[in-house]
Chains A and B, each alone.
Chain A
Amino acid sequence: MLKTKLAVTLLLGASLSAQAEMTSMAEQEMSDVSGQGGVYLSGEFAINKDGGPLWENGERYRYTRDANGNLTPVQTDACDNGVCGLRFAIKLNESSEGWYVLDDLSGGFAFEGLTLRTKPAGEAMNYDYMPDGSTTYEPRLENVDDEVVVIGLPGTVSFNNFKFKYAVANNGEYGVPLADGTPFRQTDIIGVQLDGDITLKGNLLLFPVD
Chain B
Amino acid sequence: MKKFIPEVSALALAVAASNVSALQALNDDHMAQVTGQAGITIEQDTESFSASEISYTDDGVSLQFIQPEYTAANGASTFHTLSTIDVNEDGDFIYEVTGDERTFNMAGISLSGDDDNFFGLEGTYSDHLKLVIGSDDEGNIDLSGTEYQTEFSRLFFKDGDYDWILTDFGLSVLINYGRLINTDQGVMLDLGDETNRGLHFDYSVGGVGLGLGNDPFAADGSLNKAFGSLDISLDAYGSITLRGGGATGSEGITFIPGLTLINDDNADADASNDTPAFKYTDDGFIILAEDFSGTFSSENGFTLDLESDDEGSLLALRYQDFDLAFSLDNFILGGTEEDYLNGLSRTMGSFRGEIHFRDGIADGEYRENYMKFRAGGLDGDGITADISWNIVSDDPVMETDDIGSYNRPGDLNTFIAMNDDGNWVYFNGFNSYGSGRAYVDITKQSDNPGTNGLYSNDYDGYFDGLRITFQNVKGSYSFSGVTVGRDIKDAEGNVIGNEAEEAPLMGGTELLLALEVFPSYDFTLNGAITLTPGDVNATDPNDRQGITLNGDLYISDANAAVTVDEYGRGVWLTETNYDIHMRDASLTVTEDGLTFNKGLTWSRIEVGDVRFGSKYADDSKSLGSFTLERLEDGTTLSVASGGAGQVCIDGSLNGGGTGCADSNGDGIINSEDGVFIDRGEQGLNIKVKAIFAEDDGTDARYAGKGNRFSWTQPNGTTIALENFSTSDGPGSGTNGSQTNEYGLNIDIAVDVAPTIVRDQAGNLVQDDALGFAVYGRLHFKQLNIDGLSLAATPESTPQTLIQGIVVQNADIQANLTATPIR
Contacts and interface: CB of A to CB of B under 8 A. Distances in A.
Interface of A: 2-6, 24-25, 30, 33-55, 61, 63, 65, 68-71, 73, 84-94, 96, 99, 108, 112-113, 115-118, 146-149, 152-153, 155-156, 160, 172-176, 201-202, 207-210
A53 B623 contact: no
Nearest to A177: B730
Interface stretch (B179-187, B462-470, B750-758): B750-758
A174 B730 CA distance: 8
A50 to B, nearest CB: 7
Given A4-B624, A37-B506, A41-B816, A24 B807 contact: no
A147 B570 contact: yes
A30 B811 contact: no
Interface in B792-812: 800-812
B713 interface: yes
B761 A93 contact: no
A154 to B, nearest CB: 9
Contacts of B802: 90-93
B565 A37 contact: yes
Contacts of A156: 762
B159 to A, nearest CB: 48
Interface of B: 403-404, 481, 505-508, 510-511, 563-566, 569-571, 610, 612-613, 620-624, 649-650, 652, 713-715, 717, 729-731, 734-737, 742, 755-762, 769, 771, 774, 779-782, 800-822
A52 to B, nearest CB: 3
Given A118-B563, A147-B612, A207-B612, A86 B821 contact: no
Nearest to A39: B818
Contacts of A45: 812-814
Given A40-B820, A43-B814, A90-B805, 4 more contacts: A43-B816, A88-B805, A118-B570, A207-B621
Given A4-B714, A91-B804, A155-B760, A48 B811 contact: yes
Contact of B811 (A5, A36, A47, A202): A47
The 4 closest A-B pairs by CB, nearest first: A69-B736, A37-B507, A43-B816, A52-B809
Contact of B565 (A40, A55, A86, A118): A118
A208 B622 contact: yes
A207 B543 CA distance: 52
A53 B650 contact: no
A27 B570 CA distance: 25
Q: Which of A86, A153, A210 has the most CB of B within 10 A?
A: A86
Contacts of B756: 42, 112
A interface: dominant SS:
strand
Contact of B507 (A39, A42, A53, A173): A39
Contacts of A172: 804-806
A202 B622 CA distance: 25
Given A35-B404, A112-B756, A173 B782 contact: yes
B779 A53 contact: yes
A70 B735 contact: yes
B762 A155 contact: yes
Q: Which of B737, B802, B812 has the most CB of A within 10 A?
A: B812
Contact of B818 (A40, A46, A176): A40
Nearest to B403: A34
